[in-house]
Amino acid sequence: MKALTKDEVAKAFEGLGAVDQPRGNRIRLVTTVDRAREAIGRATTALRCDHLIQMSSADTGKAFDLVYQLTGPHRTVVSIAVEIPRDRPEVPSVADLLPPAGIYERGIHDLLGIVFVGHPGLKRIILNEDWPEGEYPLRKDWKPDPAKFYGGVREGVG
């Protein structure tokens, strides 16, 4: 099967945001939180992206960047990038559309506190069960509180 073209991807994502082609077989859509789920739906149907390669997120200090990377039989990597505001770190879950996304969503929630609305079980997967609620270690503004226990071995015990 031949690779997707930028024009094919732009047509499939029409009305969802800007599409660019950073290099060869990589094409990216930059969209909004309220259109992210629709973009994933169009990628899986119109573009035949049936494989989630990766989901990643980073704290830029101003917002959270979330990127979904998908591919399919065409071997083109289609990235869907979303900027999530810090004051409302929520985005619709896509775990029902792409089941492997569920595990990525749990990890991102654990480390950055982004809430994936509609996720069937957004519980801890990376941090210790006794990690303090509301503390997200990959946020740029996070600092450990010496008065809190973050798991592992307590000093003076053992």
pLDDT tens digits, residue range 24-36? 999 999 999 999 9
pLDDT of 67-111, one tens digit each?
Answer: 999 999 999 999 999 999 999 999 999 999 999 999 999 999 999
d(CA 95, CA 118): 9
Q: Is residue 107 included in any domain, yes or no?
A: yes
Q: What are the backbone angles phi and psi of residue 85, rounded to the nearest 5°?
A: -65, 140
The total of structural domains in the chain comes to 1
Amino acid making up residue 104: Y
In a domain, 87, yes or no: yes
Q: For residue 129, what pLDDT band results from cuts at 50, 70 and 90?
A: confident
CB pairs under 8 A, 24+ apart, for 57-64? 57/84, 57/108, 57/112, 57/114, 58/138, 59/112, 59/138, 59/139, 59/140, 60/140, 61/140, 61/141, 62/86, 64/89, 64/112, 64/114
* Whole-number pLDDT of residue 150: 84
Query: Rounded to two decimals, what is the model's pTM?
Result: 0.93
| In a domain? residue 43 | yes
Q: CA 100, 58, 112: angle at the middle one, nearest 5?
A: 75
Residue 151 and residue 92: Cα distance in Å, rounded?
30
Q: Is the pLDDT of residue 153 over 70?
A: no
**Has residue 40 been placed in a domain?**
yes
Is the residue at 157 inside a domain?
A: no
Provide the mean pLDDT of the chain: 94
Confirm whether 69 is domain-assigned.
Answer: yes
Which residue, chain included where needed, has tokens 């210790």?
128
Identify whether 79 is part of a domain. yes
Q: Which two tokens stand for residue 19?
A: 């599409």
Enclosing domain of residue 62: 6-117
Provide the CATH number for the domain around residue 98: 3.30.460.80
Residues facing 140 on adjacent strands: none
Residue 45 has pLDDT above 80, yes or no: yes
SS3 68: strand
Residue 78 lies in a domain: yes
